Amino acid sequence: MSAPACHVCGAGPVMLVAGYDGFRRVTSDCKPWPAGGQCAVCPACQCAQAVLDARWHAEAKAIYDAYTIYHTSHGVEQSVFDQASGQATTRSARLLQRVLKEVSVPPAGRMLDIGCGNGAMLRAFSQLAPNWKLAGVEVNDHYCATVQAIPGVERLYVGDLDTVPGQFQLISLLHALEHIPEPRAILRRIWDKLEPGGLLLIEVPDCAANPFMFLVADHSSHFFLPVLRELVRGVGFEILAAANDWVAKELTLVARKSPASDTPAVALPSVLPAVQARLDWLAAVRAHAKAMSAKGNFGLFGTSIAATWLYGELDGRVDFFVDEDPSRIGKTCFGHSIRSPKELDSRATVFLALPTPLAEAVRTRLGSAGTGPAYIVPPPLPA
Ligand SMILES: [Zn+2]
């Protein structure tokens, strides 16, 4: 088949990345998904992306029809671990604390969270900025009662952005932009919904630091920081912050609707070699984990995207999962027990399903006693 145009900027044709269709995939709500997707890079805007053909749309619909938020932890928002301390906080609270520290946010206003899910971001915002009026918009009303019970929430709007009345001083898109088939179009509509001077907050996975995210079947775009920054700038926003270290493995961008902003366009180098190197890394991770699992008494550290993907690639040949999140320990993942690192025997092998630097930090923290299981770190990440 001929390659289609870019779904971000409309240029084309995109360049297909060789070998991607040999990888099994995973859904963004952490379920194994079969191989067969396509990954491409746009030669103009450099956005790495899925090919949004009829098959992709059918797969995305099937995934969303069966969607469960945080199913392993029964609806509790995923925790972010500080690798130094092992302490957890919610991802939304961690992000917001940093935003409020780095960016001047007015003491009151009206805020909209697009793709608000069960209200994790709205709940965190309500606690940290209690004088704001809050609203959420979501494609279904599954969590309507939960969201509308959050202090400050005026209501949950169901449908697309056009169903939401009025203007806002802050609009957030957390783990939403990478799902949206027309990211530039939604950013233009957000521009129209913001008051002059209003803020846009985006968080998406950092595919450079976390290559496992290339394997999420329902993600339409796979962002690198310079590409995300240029996308938002191109819509007219003034970029206030664009960071890959506010939350580990995430890209955070804060921008302002500044009608006079005229920051010049930046010519981006090709990201194709970086994407190909990350797919090669994923193949090496898969081979490494397969070799280790053949020995038996084998566990995967983690119960999220990376561990779920490896579980699928290993055809389920996993004896247990390991997690430090108290809301997950003692439960099961695909029928296998989720154990605390403290309850592992010394003959076990545990593959750290994490990007390499985080895996090394975990091995240093948990493996220093020398009497526990063997913790296996993935190969070095490409530069
Ligand atoms: Zn493009």
Q: Give the separation between CA 308 and CA 314, rounded to whole angstroms.
A: 10
Q: How far is CA 186 from the centre of its chain?
A: 18
Q: Give the separation between CA 177 and CA 181, rounded to whole angstroms.
A: 9
In Å, what is the CA distance from 305 to each residue of 171, 300, 375?
27, 12, 19
In Å, what is the CA distance from 114 to each residue of 34, 174, 186, 203, 379?
29, 8, 10, 12, 37
Q: Which residues surround ligand 1, an ion (CB under 5 A)?
A: 6, 8-9, 11, 42, 44-45
pLDDT at 327: 86
pTM (whole model) above 0.85: yes
How far away, in angstroms, is 221 Cα from ligand 1 center?
A: 10
pLDDT at 263: 76
Neighbours of 188 (CB within 10 A): 12
**Same fold yes or no, 74-256 and 272-376:** yes
Q: Where are the domains of the chain?
A: 74-256, 272-376
Phi then psi for residue 81, to 5 deg, are -95, 130
Task: Kindly give the residue spans of alpha helices, DSSP state H, lying in the chain.
Answer: 54-65, 91-102, 120-128, 144-148, 183-193, 225-235, 272-293, 305-313, 356-366
How far away, in angstroms, is 239 Cα from ligand 1 center?
A: 20
pLDDT at 145: 95
- For the structural domain made of 272-376, what CATH number should be given? 3.40.50
Q: What is the DSSP string of 58-99?
A: HHHHHHHHT--TTGGGTTPPPEEE-TTT--EEEHHHHHHHHH
Torsion angle, alpha carbons of 33, 36, 41, 42, to 10: -110
pLDDT at 82: 47
**Would the CA dihedral through 71, 72, 75, 81 be positive or negative?**
negative
Domain 74-256: CATH architecture, name and number where available: 3-Layer(aba) Sandwich (3.40)
Q: Give the separation between CA 203 and CA 177, rounded to whole angstroms.
A: 8
Count the alpha carbons within 13 Å of 13 in the hemisphere toward its beta carbon: 9
Token pair, residue 108, equals: 């009151």
How far away, in angstroms, is 277 Cα from ligand 1 center?
A: 20
pLDDT at 20: 97
DSSP 14: P
pLDDT at 65: 86
Per run of 10 residues, the mean pLDDT along the chain (length 383 residues) is: 86 94 96 96 96 96 81 47 51 89 94 94 94 95 93 95 96 95 97 97 97 98 97 95 94 92 83 97 98 95 95 97 92 95 93 96 84 92 92
Instruction: Check: CB of residue 244 under 8 Å from CB of residue 224.
Output: no
How far away, in angstroms, is 226 Cα from ligand 1 center?
A: 13
How far away, in angstroms, is 171 Cα from ligand 1 center?
A: 24
